[in-house]
Amino acid sequence: MISLFVGNIKFHNKNIGSKAISKICKIAKNKGLYKVYAGCHKSNIASQKAFLKNSFFKDGVQKKHATVGKKREDFIWYGLFLNR
How large a percentage of the chain has pLDDT more than 90?
70
Ramachandran angles phi, psi of 43, nearest 5°:
-75, -10
Neighbours of 62 (CB within 10 A): 13
- Would you list the domain boundaries of the chain? 34-84
pTM of the model: 0.87
Residue 68 banded pLDDT, cuts 50, 70, 90: confident
CB 28 within 8 A of CB 37: no
